[in-house]
A = this chain, B = another copy of it.
């Protein structure tokens, strides 16, 4: 099929090719009504000016932005983000969109990056990761009218669309499995407080343990690093009535927890059961392999990218609930010791 040209639009609109060019490049020389009509026709017939020409005119960047607000050393060993990026990237490159990446120190720096990107038309839209309970980025993005897709939820996204998954339901599956194995001294090493998904998991854990009468259930807050995960584990295993099972909010902390158990002479799973969240390949590198809550993170990223491009195109986009993480039992979980 012949690719639509400016001449095709001009013919349909009954105007000159020059007028079409003015209209699409945001230059004066046509009335607002004519400009709208020309843009509508261009969209309808799938006219796609060369990306470089568009960049010249400032009309579209053909790139979307992703900011990562984590310290470099944590990012390096956290498989989640690289898996997410690979999924995002696969979808974008199939549609000839580029991914612009920036590591930021804090949410303030992140907001500054959003403003600069949009001001310079470096991106056509952005992803919002690590959603917070009361997230300052949301109202800023709304005011900027910068197309955005929140990766997280549910709720707390203002008028922005999001993709999310039910972390509460996943947590219930893992804890109920441990209870079925006979555990009643269950602890959780949580991720960064203030992040929405951390709070959702903490609430779900507290509610479920109260309902099941697990009075000694406790969440130790941490920061997703192996160092802090190991420290929290050492503290839990040094308490007079140590837990017989620990659930970790990511895989890196679970691996650090396994090492601390070995260091303290405890056998996994005979003395301690371990469950990881985010079933990356790391979970199967260690011995015993870790029981883990997992889902397809690259697919989650691809989904978010598809939806962000729809937002950029001005299409209506609903919130979307992705698959719930499911539990894969491996060698790190078993019944608790007899005397507990």
- Residue on B nearest A116 in the bound complex, by CB: B96
- Residue on B nearest A52 in the bound complex, by CB: B50
A101 contact set on B, CB distance < 8 A: 85, 89, 98-101
Question: A339 on the interface (CB 8 Å rule)?
Answer: no
A287 contact set on B, CB distance < 8 A: 258-260, 262-263
A121 contact set on B, CB distance < 8 A: 52, 55
Interface size class of A (residues with CB under 8 A): 35 or more
User: CA A120 – CA B76 in complex, angstroms?
Assistant: 31
Question: A21 on the interface (CB 8 Å rule)?
Answer: no
The answer to whether B98 touches A99 (Cβ under 8 A) is no
Interface residues of A in 226-276 (CB under 8 A from B): 226-227, 230, 252, 255-256, 258-260, 262-263
Query: What's the least CB distance linking A30 to chain B, in Å?
Result: 21
Question: A280 on the interface (CB 8 Å rule)?
Answer: yes
User: CA A122 – CA B92 in complex, angstroms?
Assistant: 15
Question: A59 on the interface (CB 8 Å rule)?
Answer: yes
A73 contact set on B, CB distance < 8 A: 83, 281
The answer to whether B102 touches A98 (Cβ under 8 A) is yes
Question: A206 on the interface (CB 8 Å rule)?
Answer: no
- Residue on B nearest A53 in the bound complex, by CB: B50
Contact of A103 among B86, B113, B259 (CB under 8 A): B86
The 5 closest A-B pairs by CB, nearest first: A72-B86, A50-B52, A259-B287, A76-B79, A262-B287
